[in-house]
Copies of this chain bind each other. A is one copy, B any other.
Amino acid sequence: MNDNSFLFIIELIGTFAFAVSGIRVAANKHVDLFGAYVVGLVTAIGGGTMRDLMLDITPFWMLTPVYLVITGISLVLVIVMGRHLSRLEGTFFIFDTIGLAFFVVVGMQKSLAEGYPFWVAIIMGTFTGAFGGILRDIMVNELPLIFRKDIYASACIIGGGVYWGLDAAGLNDIFCQSAAAAGVILTRAAAVKFHWSLPTLKGENCNRGDGRGDTPE
């Protein structure tokens, strides 16, 4: 198995895990099959699509139908497995984390290939990994989960920082990318194991208070 087919399998695993995540959230909202498919698809490809629009390149899923097919397989799996899916939580966590690491590295590679500096690449990598989940939650009218359980996104940023640091140290691309992926995976696994989370911001318990259209004083 060469490098490319290995990466491709990782990508499919990530797409599958993200699509299943979207379909399961949608199912809890009693949507129909089409709605579940759309939410699953947007969860899987939404981050990468917005990244590609910002990088001004063709959205990746328009080049091969494989992402649509994977989402379809995910939908069939959720239907067939039903309530038994929850027994596979551990497996999904592993798939999702591997997929996340891959999405971050791909998002960074694409940005660097377009000539952007590392700080843009880190944002794009985080965006690729995290934005699909934000869109998923917006579509089903939930406060995005990622805003309350942030180590998900923080893991992307840490992985991105590892990539930057090792690249600056002159190490070769394959090594930098592998280390970045490992950084994402280890950070997330450690966060879950040790119950890490960022502090919550306290509100002012007042009305919107956004300074827009409000009378001053």
A positions within 8 Å CB-CB of B: 17, 20-36, 38-39, 49, 53-54, 56, 58-59, 62, 65, 68, 78-79, 82-83, 85-86, 89-90, 92-96, 116, 119-120, 123, 133-134, 136, 138-154, 191-192, 197-206, 208-217
Do the beta carbons of B32 and A201 come within 8 Å of each other? yes
With A27-B204, A86-B209, A192-B215 already in contact, 15 other A-B pairs whose C-beta atoms are closer than 8 Å:
A22-B210, A25-B208, A26-B201, A35-B144, A35-B146, A38-B153, A78-B201, A89-B214, A133-B210, A139-B147, A145-B210, A149-B212, A151-B213, A152-B212, A192-B216
Question: Pick the contact of A120 from B24, B62, B133 — CB < 8 Å?
Answer: B62
In the complex, what's the smallest C-beta–C-beta distance from A191 to chain B, in angstroms? 8
Q: How many subunits of this chain does the assembly comprise?
A: 3
CA distance A95 to B214 in the complex (A): 13
Min CB distance, A140 to chain B, in Å?
6
- SS of A interface (majority): helix
Q: How far is the CA of A150 from the CA of B85 in the complex (A)?
A: 25
Complex contact B28–A209 (CB within 8 A): yes
Give 13 CB contacts A-B under 8 Å. Answer: A25-B210, A28-B204, A31-B143, A33-B201, A34-B147, A34-B154, A35-B150, A56-B58, A79-B201, A85-B204, A93-B214, A134-B139, A192-B214
Residues A147 and B35 in contact, CB atoms below 8 Å apart:
yes
What residues of B have a CB within 8 angstroms of the CB of A33 in the complex? 150, 198-201
Q: How far is the CA of A149 from the CA of B182 in the complex (A)?
A: 43
Complex Cα distance A216/B208, Å?
Answer: 37
Chain B hits for A53, CB < 8 A? 53-54
A-B pairs with the 6 shortest C-beta distances? A35-B147, A34-B150, A90-B216, A28-B203, A92-B211, A149-B213
